[in-house]
Amino acid sequence: MRPFRRLTALAALATLLVTAAPPSTAGAHGRTGYHRVGYFTQWGIYGRAFPVKKLDTSGAASRLTHVNYAFGNVSPDGRCYLDGGPGEGDAWADYQRPVPAEESVDGVADAWGEPLNGNFGQLAKLKARHPGLQVLISLGGWSWSTYFSDAARTPQSRRAFVASCIDLYLKGNLPVLDGGSGGPGAAAGVFDGFDLDWEWPNWPGEPGNVIRPEDRQNFTALLAEFRRQLDAYGRQTGRHHSLTAFLPANPATMDAGYEGRKIFRYLDFATVQGYDFHGTWEPVTNQQSALRVPAGAPGSPDFSAEVAIDAWLARGAPRGKLVLGIPYYGRGWTGVTGGGDGLFQPATGPAPATFEPGSEDYKQLKTLPGKGFTVHRDLRAGHAWLFDGTTFWTYDDPAVVLQKTRYIRRAGLAGAMVWSLDGDDDHATLTRTIGLGLGTP
């Protein structure tokens, strides 16, 4: 069988298997040694209509080992905090909003003013249905890494920062809100540990972020302080509390902000950015998440998942602690000229999309074939794209995801991570494909 037909048949079979399987409700997590990490976005309950319950009804939760809740904020004085101010937080979504019965994991509606409502309360219910599932609070992200450098700057600031995070998220001592939600111990047991998503130590991220040359050493020291306090807290709870980090794909960012091998002394594992290699900030169409650098790519050197993993390995990262990131969204351009299949061609700007020009969820992109768009593949490089003669979308479909899970297994990596779970369809097709590829159908 020719390679294209073989991969196409495999993709079709995977799609059939993952969409035909009934949603799981029992929480029987397969244990193959691979981490399967999914980011749940705080704001996904709004326009994307993606409540925690969908993780259960779609079958995604039974195929994940970790759910990372995005995000927790870092205050100007270097503390973990929850705030309802515009741009600073959404305590309503986190633990105040009364979740109606139709959106509740167990079908029971929240009452106004209960100590733990909202997403946090639903995550607690999800864990009750899936006892093997860990939930981590992810700190920072692109928008909330502004003061990470201040929090990590001195031994005293690190101690205070970590203590505040443990108090807020592990001990669950939430601020009391209007109506009564929150209070001492209100969220105890919801979170099992922390994911540090500092974007980026000693490297520009969102405009306005505080960055310092000493961030590189201070990131290691911050991990050491987290591990010290988490172990001390674990001796009280009788549990291991996980510590992970989200790491960049750019080798220059790695060298500026991270001490390579040293950071893995303290991490259970790290997730590696496997996307946003290219996007509409560039005037030429390109891949955003290819497994390998495509032949004829205009950039040299260029980014790919394999380049990112190899760069971390070269800097001393252990294979068994690297988790590859996979996108549940695509990047798109319009006004594409130059003909052919649309790849590496000039464009006039970002493609129209549901929430953000130039970025669209997989669940929307999967509907485009047959609507004037043709699916194109580079089997060697491991990426796919859609093109209708004018508009171009680079994205991961089940065939690409299967290729990546095969790479994860062959390379001896620790598993897969996805950003973000609300981009998948109602059958959790991509999450089921990851489960299929890593041994958890």
Catalogue the active-site residues: 199
ω into residue 420 within 30 of 0, thus cis?
Answer: yes
Residues 6+ apart with CB under 8 A from 178: none
Q: Do the Cβ atoms of 304 and 381 come closer than 8 Å? A: yes
Please state, in angstroms and rounded to a whole number, the distance separating the CA atoms of residues 11 and 401. Answer: 9
Question: Cα 205 vs. chain centroid, distance in angstroms?
Answer: 17
Q: Do the Cβ atoms of 122 and 190 come closer than 8 Å? A: no
Please state, in angstroms and rounded to a whole number, the distance separating the CA atoms of residues 256 and 377. Answer: 35
- Residue 439 burial by CB count (10 A; 0-12/13-18/19+): exposed, middle or buried? middle
Q: Which of 42, 66, 193 is nearest to 130 (CA)?
A: 66
87-101 exposure pattern, b = at least 16 Cβ within 10 A, e = fewer: eebbbebbbbbbbee
Please state, in angstroms and rounded to a whole number, the distance separating the CA atoms of residues 29 and 167. Answer: 29
Q: Which of 437, 128, 93 is nearest to 291 (CA)?
A: 437
Q: Is 405 helix (H, G, I), strand (E, B) or coil?
A: helix
Q: Do the Cβ atoms of 117 and 181 come closer than 8 Å? A: yes
Q: Do the Cβ atoms of 334 and 426 come closer than 8 Å? A: no
Please state, in angstroms and rounded to a whole number, the distance separating the CA atoms of residues 287 and 59. Answer: 29
Q: Where are the beta strands (DSSP E) in 281-413?
A: 322-327, 329-334, 349-350, 359-361, 374-378, 383-387, 392-395
Residues 6+ apart with CB under 8 A from 271: 37, 195, 244, 245, 246, 247, 323, 324, 325, 417
Q: How many CB atoms lie within 10 A of CB 441?
A: 14
ω into residue 200 within 30 of 0, thus cis?
Answer: yes
Please state, in angstroms and rounded to a whole number, the distance separating the CA atoms of residues 193 and 223. Answer: 13
